Structures are given as structure tokens and as C-alpha cells.
A and B are shown apart, each in its own frame.
Chain A
Amino acid sequence: MTDDVTTTAFDTWVRRFADLVADERDHLTELDAAIGDADHGTNMDRGMRAAVAALNELGSVGAGPMLTKVGMTLVSTIGGASGPLYGTLFLRMGNALGDAPEVTPVRVAAAFHAGLDGVVARGQAQAEDKTMYDALAPAVEALESCLANGLGLGEALARAREAADEGRDKTVPMLARKGRASYLGERSVGHQDPGATSVALLVAAAADTLA
């Protein structure tokens, strides 16, 4: 049995993420209303619907070009800070995956790492700034270390999901230092970061679909 991930699985991953975002749309917007500008759910939902529409139009391509298309669509449709950040995440993942029809678990992890690097380059966030980084970085680290320790992709993604959830929860007491929440200073403390929350959905969708 191989753990290689098919292009179809990546397609399912994006669609699953779109479904989770649609389900959590109002919750994401409520979280954003507390410390931002009340549009994260609306914007992510609009972007992911457009990404799914783009997938429906897309002919037979490999996982790399598929995720590149998703990234370009998100940049063009989300707006705000999430557009460039999620767009860059998918664009870098697409570049990292290339055109192979099946992708080894190590390459999946490398693609997530490339996506994380893209988010850092675009947003210049660091650990504990109270951003999507705080969920994404621990998830990528868990994924890579589990694979390095010989675990299968399914197990590694399950651990990554736990790490993303923990990272998301840890944003609650943090003082925001990036994005609109940073304008609140101390008043950002006690609220869960909406970006970290949507990243946890992204990783949960991956755990559901990529293995």
C-alpha cells in the first residue's frame, strides 16, 4: 500500500476546505468582528466558492498546477489580507508540487512548508503575533516530524490537525501584533484569531482527504 497522494485527493481537499469554510462562515466573521473588521468568513467563503468554480472549469492537470490555479483565484477574489496570504500559500504549494500525478508524503510536507514560507514572506508574521501563522507553523512542524519519525501520512496529518487546533486555541490569550487586531492593543487579548481558525479548517480538511 502506498501513501502517495493523488491529484484527485488534492481536488477533494480544496472542496472539503470550501465546505468547512461555508459551514463556519458566520463563526469566522463573528471572531473577526471582535478584533478585526467582521469580514473573514464572508471573504473566505467568497474566495473558496470561486476556487471550487475554478476547479470545475479546470481540465486534467497535476496537483501543482491545480493548487496554483486555486492560489491565483484566491488572490483575485478574497481581498483584504487573507487574499494575498491564502493565495500565496496555495501558489507556493503549487510550485513546490510541480506536475507529478502522484505525490509522496514527504513532498506533501515540503509543499506545506513552502506554503508556510510564502505566508511568512508576504505577511512577515512571527510566532505569537496572533495570526494564521500560529496554527499553520505547528501543523507543518508536526507533519514533518511525524513523517521523519516513520509515521504514515494519515497519522501525521491527524497530528498536524491536533497541532493546528492547539495553535488556534493558543491565540486566545495572545496580544495581536499584526493586522487590524493589533490596533486594539491589550483589548485583542481573550479573543481567538480568525485567521488561525480558518487555517485549522484547512488542516482538518487535509486530514480528512489527503490520506
Chain B
Amino acid sequence: MKKLINDPNDVVAEALLGIEAAHPDLQVDHANKVIYRGGSPKPGKVGIISGGGSGHEPLHGGFVGHGMLDAACAGEVFTSPVPDQMLAATKLVDGGAGVLHVVKNYTGDVMNFEMAAELAAAETGARVVSVVTDDDVAVQDSTWTAGRRGVGATVLLEKIAGAAAEQGRDLDAVADVARKVNAHGRSMGVALTSCTVPAAGSPTFDLGDDEMELGVGIHGEPGRRRVPLAPAKEIAELLVEPIVSDLPFNDGDAVIAFVNGLGGTPLIELYVMYNEVNKILAKHGVSVARSLVGSYITSLEMAGSSVTLVKVDDELLSLWDAPVSTPALRWGI
């Protein structure tokens, strides 16, 4: 294992110290591992919190700031945060208008956020609404699995719901916008390499030099199929076609197209992928209203990419375009 760390056990705590030092607009509750906006809570504004295992940076802490999240809870690497953390974050950002919990659909995350919402209701009477993201088409959505995973659409949802909250919409309206993004969003990813959890010290799975893992999750959990490595144009098809046919995205639809890096893939390759994705969408008559290219929801140092499409209307587009000022996304300000 070669990593820029001091001690595997201190990675999350030391990264939070770094975030606090680098971004004076943000504050960190180190005991609870919560990153939150300075000046919280904002009276009358719906608070939005998210959280999850660490190792997906900039998700979620890098999205705390004006126009996006109010707080993010950092779990251990690839492990859901515990209810105490979400409870602390909820209290920090509740300005009286209630708090939205954005939860990625993983068994642990859902259970810990559920317990936190129960505790928040019991302890403070804070009104909490949870929206669970489950946009990964690689997982069959059936009662026989834990359901689809929350992946790339979570990034776009946090931006769009954050804008709605910043406009002063009430909790139900913000939650409705969040659900709309998830309902219209689909993603799929591919891994070219595995990744190493610092505390584990060795790669989560083995992948040959000539292989790739199709439908991989963001925790290094293997995907559904292992296939031979292929050129970017073929990989793009393997990702985009299942996404397009799943919603489905139809001729004439407008989308935000998000090509994401999983942590170990350089931006130049992501642009090669974006070019291929763009061509495939054009073939389907899907128009790209906005794009996002970069590593925003990662799996440590895993090489690979995910593609997310969210079908948008004027409302979602105007919320996407609204000003945002966070460590990882910043425009209009």
C-alpha cells in the first residue's frame, strides 16, 4: 500500500483538519466528524445534510456551502456514519424550517439515517424528511436485492435541492425537487482497477491488467460482470446504452450529462469518455443541456468512470444554474 497518509486509523480525522484549514467558510465538528457551513443554522432556511462513508471525496464534504449542502457527515472509509453524527448535523443546521436528509441507498446508510431521524424527532422535535438516491442501473431493482445503489445522481441532486433550499422553498418542496432529480437520474460505472481501503491495506478485489469490472459500486464492491478491457468508445456504449434504455431517455429529451472519474483516472481520459458519451446521446436524439466532467464521487484511487444522466426541464435547469459556492462546485458567484 502506497498512500499519502500518516496512520491508517487517522485518515478521516486528519483529512477533516485539512478541510477546515483549507476552507475558512466551513466549520468542522471534529468530535462528530461533521463539516458544516459557517453561520449555521440559517433561520427559516431548510437545512440539507448528507453523509456517507469517507473515500468518495469530494462527496459529500466538498459540497458543503452556499447553494448546496449545509452539513456533511464523514463516516469511516466506505462505512456509513453513525446516527450520533447525523443527529449532531441535524441540530447544527436546523433553522426552524426542517432538515432534509440525502441518503444514498446502501443498507447501512439507510439504517443509520433512519435511527438518526428517530433520535432527532425524539430529542429536538426537528422535522426531518429523507430522500434516498438509487440511480445505479447496474443493480436489478427487485425485492430480492437491497435495491439500486445511490451513486452519481446524488451529486446533481445535492446541487439542485441545495438551490431550491437557498431560494427559500419549504421542506416538502425541497424534498419534492430532490425526489424529482432521483426519479429522472440514472447512472452506471466501470472500474479499471481496484482500490485499497487504508485500514485493510490491500486491494478490495483483484482485477487483471486486461479486465474491467462493469457495473462496479463506489465502495469497491465488485460489479455484475467482468469483461475484457475495451476502447473508450465501447466502454461508453456499455455504460450509456443501459442508462438510456432504463429510464428511458427518449428522442427530444434534454439532460445534464455527468461523466465522473472514480478517483484514479485523469481528466484527459474523462474527456475522451465524454466525447464518446456525447456522440451516443446525439445518436439517440438526447440533447445535452448541461455537462459536468470531473471526479466528484470517487472510490479512493480506483481507476474508472461512471456516467450519470438526469433528464431536466426548465425548473431543474434553472436550479442547476443557480449560484453555488463549495470547495468542489463553484459558479455564478
Contacts and interface: CB of A to CB of B under 8 A. Distances in A.
Interface in A58-87: 75-85
B200 interface: yes
Residue in B111, B112, B219 whose Cβ sees the most chain A Cβ within 10 Å = B111
Contact of A180 (B81, B199, B217, B224): B217
Contacts of A122: 111
- The A interface is mostly helix, strand or loop, or mixed, namely helix
Contacts of A183: 138-139, 145-146, 149, 217, 221, 223-224
- The B interface is mostly helix, strand or loop, or mixed, namely loop
Given A42-B200, A185-B140, A79 B145 contact: no
A12 B81 CA distance: 29
B108 interface: yes
A1 to B, nearest CB: 42
Interface string B185-203: 0000000000001011000
A179 B81 contact: no
Given A43-B76, A123-B111, A38 B82 contact: no
Given A37-B219, A179-B146, A185-B140, A81 B199 contact: no
Nearest to A29: B200
A80 B111 CA distance: 8
Contacts of A107: none
B79 A84 contact: no
Contacts of A76: 82-84
B107 A37 contact: no
Nearest to A36: B221
B107 A81 contact: yes
Interface size grouping (class) on chain B: 35 or more
Contacts of A43: 76, 79
Contacts of A170: none
Residue in A43, A79, A182 whose Cβ sees the most chain B Cβ within 10 Å = A79
A33 B204 contact: yes
Interface string B110-124: 011011000000000
Given A29-B200, A33-B204, A38-B204, A180 B221 contact: yes
Contact of B108 (A33, A38, A46, A82): A82
B112 A33 contact: no
Interface string B68-96: 00000001111111111000000000000
A80 B223 CA distance: 20
A182 B140 CA distance: 10
Contacts of A75: 82-84, 115
Contact of B106 (A38, A82, A180): A180
Interface of B: 53, 75-84, 106-108, 111-112, 114-115, 138-140, 144-146, 149, 197, 199-200, 204-205, 217, 219-224
Given A79-B76, A80-B75, 6 more contacts: A37-B221, A75-B83, A78-B82, A83-B82, A180-B221, A184-B222
Interface of A: 29, 33, 36-39, 42-43, 46, 75-85, 122-123, 177-180, 182-185, 187
List of 6 A-B pairs having minimum Cβ-Cβ separation, nearest first: A81-B108, A80-B108, A84-B111, A182-B145, A37-B219, A79-B79
